[in-house]
Amino acid sequence: MKILGIDPGIGTVGFGVIESDGRKNQYVACGVITTPANTPLSPRLDMIYTDLNELIVTFAPDAIAIEELFFSKNITTGISVAHGRGVILLSAYRSGVPVFEYTPMQVKQSVVGYGGAKKHQVIYMVQRLLDMKQPPRPDDAADALALAICHARSATSLIAKSQGSKGEDPCSTI
C-alpha cells in the first residue's frame, strides 16, 4: 500500500510518501509545497490545490493521511491553516483516494510510543523506522512521513482488519 501523508499548512505543506507491506515501511519521497508569504490567500490556496493534485497523480497513493488541526494559541494562523487543509481535503476527495485523519497525539503515539513526544523524538523515530541515512527535513516533511507511518500501522492493526469490507479505519474521523 502506498500512503501519502500530509501535514497541512498555508505557507508550507509537508508531504511524505511511504510504501507499506503491513510489516515494513519503506521511504519513497518527502518534501514541501510552499507558497509566498506576501501573496493573497486565494492564489496560495490555488497553488496548494494544483501542487497536491500533481503529487497525487505522480505517486498514485492508495490512501492519504492528513493531520487534524489543533488550535492552541494563535487562532488567526489556525484559520489560515484550516483554509489550506480544506483545499487539501477537496483535492484528495476529488482524486478518489481514501482520506484518513489523525490527531497529533495519535501520530506521536504511533511513531514514538508516547502521545506527548517532542518534535525531535518524532523526527528521530521516522528516520529509524524508515531506515533513512539522514533525518527527514524540513520538519513539515518529517511530520508528513510520521502521518503516513501512523496510517500504515493503524491500517494493518487487528481492529482495522476486523472491520472487514466496511473500509472504515478506527482512527479516522470520517
Helix or strand (DSSP H, E) at 28: strand 25-34
Q: Does residue 7 carry a catalytic annotation?
A: yes
Instruction: Select which of 101, 140, 143, 169 is catalytic.
Output: 140
Q: Which residues pair with 30 in a beta bridge?
A: 16
Cell numbers placing 155: 491500517
Instruction: Select which of 46, 51, 67, 139 is catalytic.
Output: 67
Q: List the one residue out of 68, 73, 123 whose CA is nearest residue 100.
A: 68
Instruction: Return d(Cα 75, Cα 89) in angstroms, integer.
Output: 20
Q: List the one residue out of 149, 154, 158, 153 whose CA is nearest residue 169.
A: 154
Query: Cα separations (Å) of 62 from 5, 11, 59, 79, 92?
Result: 11, 26, 9, 29, 11
Q: Does residue 139 carry a catalytic annotation?
A: no
- Residue holding cell 472487514? 164
| Residues with active-site annotation | 7, 67, 140
